[in-house]
Chains A and B, each alone.
Chain A
Amino acid sequence: MAVAERGRSPALLPPVSERLGPLAWLKRNLFSTWYNSLLTILVGYLLYVVLVPFFEWAILNATFFGDSKEACDFDGACWALITSRLGQYLYGLYPVAERWRVNAAFLLLILAMVPLFLPRFRHRLLYACGLVFLYPPVAYLFFAGGVFGLPFVETAQWGGLFLTLVIAGVGITASLPIGVLLALGRRSEMPVIRALCVVFIEVIRGVPLVTILFMASVMLPLFLPPGVTIDKLLRALIGVALFASAYMAEVVRGGLQGIPKGQYEAAMALGLGYWQMMGYVVLPQALRMVIPGIVNTFIGLFKDTALVTIIGLYDLLGMSRFIIQDPKWLGLAAESYLFAGFGFWVFCFAMSRYSMYVEKVLSAGERR
């Protein structure tokens, strides 16, 4: 019942600002002064010079279907590369007959997430935590197989957008809880814990992700007893998760610093223990405050996953590099990378829009 009452009482809408016709709008916004007009014309010209040829290349003269480079027009984009190899862009070298498993696991995730978006669902946080712990093993069974009659698919065959989503997904889901713990540890009153957290955060933040990935892929095996190997993907996942956690910790710490002392005192005076105080009073407010920073970190992480290409994993970017080495498609780097870039952009843009939506919903619920 708490939810139902949240709406603002039916107040008067603000007066609609006078409607402008398109011409008046142009005049007011683009040609209001002589230098404004000059800028408009200059920018318009530049756009014309750049966009028109691009449009001709990417759409008008482009070839969308075909079996090899020979099918393509010389002066247009060769999207035939993408359409004919789309499966590899999406799934990497995952066996074609088994690709349904990837789809099924992602579909399962989407279905499992539905309750999180039901407005009346009360145990959202608990459910989300359960999902974070239960879904990865289930997804792993789907992806890797080897049980229930599913043929085994080794991680070296995972690739494309699928692999990018796996790495980013693991990084994102691991970085938030670990980041929160690190941030709390950094503000802890216990010196040992605080020191450990500070050292971890500062070391990881002071090192480029590439270095961490190299260390994970090259150096880590040197420290392991002979015969023990850790899957290359797993090593990359750990590296990415730790890296993202350190950044997340600093974002969360910023939020924690914004919570007034009185909130802690009121929670303590009510008898809440440390974790209850953090879980019910401090973190909900602190995290809400830093949603933009959190999403920023997620977006950065999503793009950074492209670096796993360097240690020989075939994520979306790695796959687009791999595909253009095929003699049939040699020299189509532009198309391939453009498509990979577009793939990254779609997800990052979606995350950014979603965060704006969440912020709006939250700030509508709570008006100070």
Chain B
Amino acid sequence: MSGKGAPAIVMEAVHKWFGEFHVLKGIDLEVAEQQKVVICGPSGSGKSTLIRCINALEDYQQGRIVVDGIEVTKDVKNVEAIRREVGMVFQQFNLFPHLTVLENLILAPMHVRHMPRKEAEELAMQLLERVKIPEQAHKYPGQLSGGQQQRVAIARALCMKPKIMLFDEPTSALDPEMIKEVLDVMVELAEAGMTMVVVTHEMGFAKSVADYIVFMDEGEIVEIAPPSTFFTSPKSERTRLFLSQILHH
């Protein structure tokens, strides 16, 4: 896969608490430009919390996160700068139901990037081509299937021309027959050289795309390994247990 470039995301000893509850217990992670990282782990292990810290949807209490050279702080300017560079795709799509697909796509480019409407619409149509649903541009999200909605969500994030894309279980809410159409789009995106952090249990995707896989449990990173060794010879017992559970499903 791609060689190691400049660091896109750096997390150093990140700790986070929800009240008394210690969710992230000293996370160290580095993602280089163009690298693809898959994060997996049992439910409640803090995967979502971790990637939501990267674009400041969650704050953290200790440690340091630097994204694209900008430190993630509570400062509004920093947060806005980071969110312009980082796209995010959610498990529940979170499309804006009162706007058409096209309007969903052009909203942020027009109002955050101050792109003229026409230019934004052209860009949006290009991206809808890329996710293979240009014919749905004028429908409302509620009129699309789950797989189509998730592809719109990916296109919406790409419309901001992000340098980094975060995916939080993008296929978990989908019916099995729709998972592939979304994964295909993600694979294509990976091949085009996007820096990606993906929380997923789609191990096929992880095997073929990830530069390395991060296994989390109880707020800690238990193991980081490239797919070649992660699946065949995991070092930790917890990883082995987890793999045996999900691979036999």
Which A residues fall within an 8 A CB radius of B?
1-2, 4-6, 260, 262-263, 265-273, 276, 280-281, 284-285, 288, 365-368
Which secondary structure dominates where chain A touches chain B? helix
Q: Is the CB of A368 within 8 A of B142?
A: yes
Q: Is the CB of B97 within 8 A of A270?
A: no
| B209 interfacial by beta-carbon distance below 8 Å | no
Say which residue of A5, A260, A267, A271 sits within 8 Å of B160 (CB atoms).
A271
Q: Is the CB of B138 within 8 A of A5?
A: yes
**Which one of B17-25, B87-95, B188-196, B210-218 contacts A?**
B87-95
Known A-B contacts A366-B140, A366-B142; A266 and B95 likewise in contact (beta carbons under 8 Å)? yes
Say which residue of A265, A272, A285 sits within 8 Å of B57 (CB atoms).
A265
| B127 interfacial by beta-carbon distance below 8 Å | no
Bound complex: CA of A285 vs CA of B86, how far in Å?
Answer: 26
Residues of chain B lying within 8 A (CB to CB) of residue A1: 138
Known A-B contacts A367-B143, A368-B97; A268 and B57 likewise in contact (beta carbons under 8 Å)? yes
Say which residue of B94, B102, B111, B157 sits within 8 Å of A263 (CB atoms).
B94
Residues of chain B lying within 8 A (CB to CB) of residue A280: 107, 111
Q: Smallest distance from the beta carbon of A256 to chain B beta carbons, Å?
A: 14
Q: Is the CB of B90 within 8 A of A266?
A: yes
Q: Is the CB of B92 within 8 A of A262?
A: yes
| B100 interfacial by beta-carbon distance below 8 Å | yes
Using an 8 Å CB-CB cutoff, how does the interface string of B116-129 with A read, 1 for contact, 0 for none? 00000000000000
Q: Is the CB of A269 within 8 A of B142?
A: no
Q: Is the CB of A2 within 8 A of B138?
A: yes
Q: Is the CB of A271 within 8 A of B90?
A: no
Q: Is the CB of B98 within 8 A of A270?
A: no
Number of B residues with CB within 8 Å of any CB on chain A? 31
Residues of chain B lying within 8 A (CB to CB) of residue A269: 55, 57, 83, 86-88, 90, 157
Q: Smallest distance from the beta carbon of B91 to chain A beta carbons, Å?
A: 9
Residues of chain A lying within 8 A (CB to CB) of residue B92: 260, 262
Known A-B contacts A270-B157, A271-B80; A366 and B111 likewise in contact (beta carbons under 8 Å)? no
Residues of chain B lying within 8 A (CB to CB) of residue A272: 107-108, 111-112
Bound complex: CA of A268 vs CA of B88, how far in Å?
Answer: 10
25 CB contacts below 8 A, A to B, read: A1-B138, A2-B100, A2-B103, A2-B138, A4-B138, A5-B100, A260-B92, A260-B94, A267-B96, A268-B57, A268-B83, A269-B57, A269-B90, A270-B83, A270-B87, A270-B108, A272-B108, A272-B112, A280-B111, A285-B98, A366-B140, A366-B142, A367-B142, A368-B97, A368-B140
Known A-B contacts A262-B92, A270-B156; A366 and B108 likewise in contact (beta carbons under 8 Å)? no
> Could you say which of B94, B100, B138, B139 has the most chain A C-beta atoms within 10 Å of its C-beta?
B94
Smallest Cβ-Cβ distance to B109: which chain A residue: A270
Residues of chain B lying within 8 A (CB to CB) of residue A267: 96
Q: Smallest distance from the beta carbon of A362 to chain B beta carbons, Å?
A: 9
